[in-house]
Amino acid sequence: MEFGNLIDGKQISASIRLSVKEDVERLVSQGHRAPCLAVILVGERVDSQTYVRNKKKTAADLGIQSIDKVLPESATQQQVIDIVRSFNNDKDIDGILVQLPLPSHINEEAVLNEIDIAKDVDGFHPINIGKLSMRGRKPEFEPCTPKGCIELIDRSGISIQGKNAVVLGRSNIVGLPVAMMLMNRDATVTICHSKTKDLKEKCREADILVVAIGQTKLVKKDWIKPGAVVIDVGMNTDENGKLCGDVDFNECKQVAGHITPVPGGVGPMTIAMLMKNTLTSAQKKFCN
């Protein structure tokens, strides 16, 4: 059995972006306008600003138009909702993304409820999430980071069906949706969290372990079943100020069959999936 096979998110996302770029060029060559993504950013969080800037650059590289609406931290919930509604009504906008988290005085659910589900390219509208959690239903779009996790597994030639999958973390953004997506692919799924007893033992049962708990290098090699697939969604800094995940990569790569690094694993996939969802939205509009 081989251990430590790197799942290269940079390489896989580059392949997806190239495919998206080719499809965008094909749309335009057929006389359609380029797909368009609208992003709403509220406040001055540095991580959110960086993410939005990267989205804008990637969109430009792929021929996708982007519109940014930046509001101060003091913006009201109604102001954000009014902008969402204006984007809903703009036929030249294919995707709307509200950068999360929002400031604490704004009700996230109320804002996300306002997004037209046909433009919900981030996949967090309650109807899309609801469809994701029900058998026989298909959401308009799946959330980008969880979708990226599944894509990494698929493109590494790893079968999900029948596997024991453990998801460490139960956030609305990653843990819960990725668990539902794994279950929809016929994995047997266990969701673990801060109140889970015997956490290490639960993780050691996983054929596929997705870690999204926000604790620096929490998962050590004795948490990993030999040969398991380890997907690290964490984004932290270590004692030396270097970017790292929730998994102790140097330890766990000695035991895991396949493993994502941080950086260069799940991170690049999130924006690639957002661009793919935006393209899909435009294709539905133009090609149906």
| Burial label, 2 (beta-carbon count in 10 A; 0-12, 13-18, 19+) | exposed
Of 159, 83, 121, 135, give the one whose Cα is nearest residue 272. Answer: 121
Amino acid at 159: S
* C-alpha atoms less than 13 angstroms from C-alpha of 95 in its C-beta half-sphere: 34
Phi-psi region of 92 (alpha: psi -120 to 50; beta: other; left: phi over 0): alpha
Which residues are marked as active site? 55, 99, 122
Pairing of strands 236-237, 243-244: antiparallel
Both structure tokens of 182: 């794994």
69 alpha carbon, distance to own chain's centre? 21
Check: CB of residue 30 under 8 Å from CB of residue 287: no
